Structure 1
């Protein structure tokens, strides 16, 4: 059974947490005592309904303010698929949290309130999901029960968002009318909207095709750890553990270890105590080579005739995550796959206004939660691909060496 990672986004009070609560409830992923607690809390607050948002808004400050601040991860499964939901915040000051939650997602779920239609935040979230190359996008038009399940209201939002999405890089778009509170079109098709001929939200999530989204052509295996067990049973065992970032690895394949350039052949691929016939993204495995080579953390295993080009001068889109601004000549650590090196910011080419897509070439620096195109130089060559080709080998984070805090996330331009 495969796994779908999805990130939710939307304006404040659009109902993200309620929708996730509805998915968890109707897919029977909630324990009875949890549900009893939510029902009791709803009654104590004087609600005449069960507040499903209480299932997901876990932080105390969130409950006090009624908003989502941090990225809350929730897990559930159906007979067809497993799901990891990143419930990301809607406020502009938490853009970095949304980037964190959406960076590894297969699908972005943007909610809009049917009463208010598209807002500035709705458009900003769609732009961010497009920048992050999230391959699938669902626009869920929520609270249809509050507009009498009007086809005209839905059609207007559908037309407006479709026109806006045409300016962005969104390969796959679905627009679904729902009511998270009442359950319309969330798990089951709604009888209240006979004019809607599409599937329910959960049916779409269960059946959206994600296998071809990952780079299955270019073999990329960043080495995370060298395994040398200290026991008589595995006396000669030497394996290289990591997560497959691209392509398909098979025993017998001729490979090259970078940056040394030494070649060998894959002897076996291990997962726990089992030997595999192949490994592909995003599997975490241990690779054994026939030759005893000098391989360490930060190296990369690739195909001999398909190698990533080592780069030191990097052109990237960066989301800045620190209260202190990013400035030219600033020195930081860069972590790319499993390799860490030192880097310096050479130039901020422009700052991107994610609401209007306007580029400001005179920005000079990036402030907290701002996104811009930046040139930087790494002290050591990085084995990188363009982000549009491979989201793993095309991304990196920037770290303040003094504090160890992540201050930026980057996507390498082609």
Structure 2
């Protein structure tokens, strides 16, 4: 490991981002509440506010909306922050109802680990498969299968083993790299923070022990550096009359002073003359730091451009094929005119084709469905009005993803993940639509 990789590892690897998922009433909020309660991460006044008849209702520690409390289900993504002596955690508790599957995409999009709960009485259901598919599409490195409510099936090893085998086989077929199965009772606290006295047949880690020890990879050697330009800084001061900096958050990798870089989509090349970080000059900066790059040459750069190392510049293209999860109530149809937001750049686009929709029962593609309804997962082909530098989502979760937005009201329609590296298309004549969308 290089000196830079060691510095990055020591500053980022002690924080784990995770998300929970599962069907309605599988006990996600109770599990999160148990983690907070048993790890001593709940303040006394918080615990008192959710205590009824002398017993705390742990689910209410995360279900904060009035509608959630009234209906007894999680509706929105609830973020919680807690820590143990070994690691800090950023946890997203996502809804379980099929109507809110799209919210899981939000919660899991930045997660390094997903906990998928299954009710031991019901086993693997359609929503379980849907959540596993989303975790696979979002390239979440680690998946924990928490078989909950083991107390309601007599803590039977055979029940746990059958569910773990079925889910692991399905997840492996999806391409999930790692599944860790843990039998738990969130309500009683079995195998959540403390080992269970009722399941001596289980010799693996508790949920918290696994969360504290699972490796969190931040390997710069395999990251291609990317900086979406968010703002051009021209202070116009007497002290720095010629200052021109390009500010943004590094999406991946690291940048160094003196490095040759290319600005996309223009393709102009230059070198990094300086890097400003928190008011001081540094020789190197890495993800997820927010920095200002100073370049040797005066190049026309604006918000939405992408600065990349010249040796690792991705191709630019106007034709994108991707896997998407449709999140809007209004269906996405072929011919739909949309805005595509990639990094800090937003361009006009049109949906040229919807080749398939994923059937979750057997993972088979349903060819040419014509549209995608809310919560559907499928493949789309999109033509953009301007060329975009896109990575494969497998290479970069930040620059390989995008959003489709309704141009009329700004509603988010679809979350997309570029399925493979796109190559620059042959030069074609622009197609101009009747409403002025130059595609």
Question: Does structure 2 retain, via aligned residues, the 8 Å contact 1:9–1:89?
Answer: yes
Cα distance in 1 for residues equivalent to 2:383 and 2:368: 21
Summarize the Cα distance change of 1:186–1:218 in structure 2 as closer, same or farther, 3 Å threshold. Answer: same
Deviation at 1:232, TM superposition (A): 4.7
Which of 337, 357, 362 aligns to 1:356? It is 362
Question: Does structure 1 retain, via aligned residues, the 8 Å contact 2:236–2:243?
Answer: no
State the match for 1:135 in structure 2. 141
Cα distance in 1 for residues equivalent to 2:151 and 2:46: 26
1:2-401 mapped onto 2 (5 Å cutoff): 2=12, 3-39=15-51, 42-43=52-53, 49-212=55-218, 216-229=222-235, 231-232=237-238, 235-401=241-407
1:325-353 deviations in whole A, cap 9, x for unaligned? 21222111110011110001111111212
Cα distance in 1 for residues equivalent to 2:221 and 2:83: 25
CA RMSD of aligned residues (A): 1.9
Cα distance in 2 for residues equivalent to 1:360 and 1:137: 26
Deviation at 1:212, TM superposition (A): 4.2
The 3-state SS of whatever aligns with 2:286 is coil
Cα distance in 1 for residues equivalent to 2:213 and 2:246: 34
Deviation at 1:234, TM superposition (A): 5.1
Question: Does structure 1 retain, via aligned residues, the 8 Å contact 2:338–2:407?
Answer: yes
Deviation at 1:8, TM superposition (A): 0.6
Q: Which range is displaced more, 287-296 or 17-26?
A: 287-296
1:134-159 deviations in whole A, cap 9, x for unaligned? 11111011122223332222222222
Cα distance in 2 for residues equivalent to 1:235 and 1:206: 50
Question: Does structure 2 retain, via aligned residues, the 8 Å contact 1:214–1:390?
Answer: no
Unpaired runs of at least 5, structure 1: none
Q: Which range is displaced more, 323-332 or 399-408?
A: 323-332
Cα distance in 2 for residues equivalent to 1:189 and 1:383: 49
Question: Does structure 2 retain, via aligned residues, the 8 Å contact 1:11–1:90?
Answer: yes
The 3-state SS of whatever aligns with 1:94 is helix
Deviation at 1:215, TM superposition (A): 8.0
Cα distance in 2 for residues equivalent to 1:199 and 1:311: 46
Deviation at 1:4, TM superposition (A): 1.7
Cα distance in 1 for residues equivalent to 2:275 and 2:146: 42
1:160-191 deviations in whole A, cap 9, x for unaligned? 22222221111121111122122222223333
Unpaired runs of at least 5, structure 2: 1-10, 421-439
Summarize the Cα distance change of 1:386–1:292 in structure 2 as closer, same or farther, 3 Å threshold. Answer: same
Cα distance in 2 for residues equivalent to 1:70 and 1:361: 32
Q: Which range is displaced more, 203-212 or 225-234?
A: 225-234
Question: Does structure 2 retain, via aligned residues, the 8 Å contact 1:216–1:280?
Answer: no
Cα distance in 2 for residues equivalent to 1:176 and 1:214: 31
Deviation at 1:385, TM superposition (A): 0.9
TM-score of the aligned structures, taking structure 2 as reference length: 0.88
State the match for 2:437 in structure 1. none
State the match for 2:418 in structure 1. 412
Q: Which range is displaced more, 229-238 or 79-88?
A: 229-238
Cα distance in 2 for residues equivalent to 1:140 and 1:277: 45
Deviation at 1:107, TM superposition (A): 1.1
Question: Does structure 1 retain, via aligned residues, the 8 Å contact 2:265–2:388?
Answer: no
Q: Which range is displaced more, 208-217 or 347-356?
A: 208-217
Cα distance in 2 for residues equivalent to 1:285 and 1:160: 46
Cα distance in 1 for residues equivalent to 2:43 and 2:149: 26
Summarize the Cα distance change of 1:95–1:394 in structure 2 as closer, same or farther, 3 Å threshold. Answer: same
Summarize the Cα distance change of 1:157–1:264 in structure 2 as closer, same or farther, 3 Å threshold. Answer: same
TM-score of the aligned structures, taking structure 1 as reference length: 0.93
Deviation at 1:279, TM superposition (A): 2.6
